[in-house]
Structure 1
Amino acid sequence: MNLEKLLLVVCLGLTFWLYWVSDDYDKLNDKHTKLKSDFNEQVAINEDYEKRIESLHELDIKHTTELTNAKAEIDKLRDDVRSGAKRVYVKAKCPSPENSSTSGVDVGRSPTLEGDAEQDYFNLLKQLKTLEKQFLGLRDYYYTECKK
């Protein structure tokens, strides 16, 4: 009889132990499923971020290249003007002298900028191109990132 009681106690103990283990197994399995789902979602988010970062990198390269080219073009124009290969002309009218005496102004030649004003012109032109490229870059960034 003692053996039967002992066997009954062992069977009951094993039953409770199996119930406890299976309950823990179910909880762990649920956690595993949730973690796997969260992981897959995070992988998808990371892939999307990588695509967006690559898109922004391509935009940055495009606009930086355009800006560099525009600045190089302005520098070449400045060098050409400095060397005399090209000229910068200003649309202007020189007032005619009130008396008919000859003035020191050569009216047969088109008006041009003086040296300092010419350099200021090129500096302003370069700043204008820089601002234009920055604006276009920001506009493209806005349409790429913010208008989704």
Structure 2
Amino acid sequence: MSRITTALIAIIIALLVGMWYATSQMQSLSTQLKEITQVSNQQKADLENIQRQRVQAAELDIKVTQELANAKSEIETLRVGLNTGTKRLRIAASCPKLPETTAATGKPDATSPRYDAEFERNYLSLVERIKQSETMINGLQSYIRTQCQ
């Protein structure tokens, strides 16, 4: 019977060692599962954040593009108005005084001060560039405020 007892004790010891090994493996796997779950949750949160930023950037892009289109439309309306004569540019200008020796004819010396066509083109070009620059700068500032946190 001592052989049977020895064999049973050996089997019990082997089972205990096997159970200890299986338990340690399960604990290791459980730890790894927790780590993987944490990484997965973090990646999911990061992806949601990226998606939110993309949506915000797209909305901002649409807004700035619309503002640029509105600015170009305003400039074009001004350009058409100046060409048709329905709008006029007002500038602070003065005509040089004529010498006192000129004989008076009873008529005004000239019409009101007027600018030439090149001035008008330059003015419209500058106004257009200023509007575009302001819109772009405002858009970039909005992007920095919303996306670069």
Q: TM-score range by the shorter chain?
A: 0.7 to 0.9
Question: 2:119 — aligned with what?
Answer: 117
Q: Any unmatched runs of 5+ in structure 1?
A: none
The Cα shift of 1:123 comes to: 0.7
2: distance between equivalents of 1:10 and 1:123?
Answer: 95
SS of equivalent residue, structure 2 residue 102: coil
The Cα shift of 1:31 comes to: 1.0
TM-score (norm 1): 0.81
The Cα shift of 1:101 comes to: 4.9
Q: Any unmatched runs of 5+ in structure 2?
A: none
> Paired residue for 1:107, among 102, 110, 115?
110
After superposition, give the CA deviation of every residue in 1:73-115 in whole Å (9 maximum; x if it has no partner).
101211222233323232210112114258xx9633x323211
Question: 1:37 — aligned with what?
Answer: 38
- Name the Cα RMSD after superposition: 2.3
Query: RCO greater where, 1 or 2, for CA within 8 Å and sep 6 or more?
Result: 2
TM-score (norm 2): 0.81
Question: 2:78 — aligned with what?
Answer: 77
2: distance between equivalents of 1:52 and 1:112?
Answer: 52
> Paired residue for 2:133, among 117, 131, 134?
131
Aligned residue pairs, count: 144
Letter in 1 for 2:7: L
Percent identity over the alignment is 29
After superposition, give the CA deviation of every residue in 1:5-54 in whole Å (9 maximum; x if it has no partner).
33333332222122111101100001101211222222223223322332
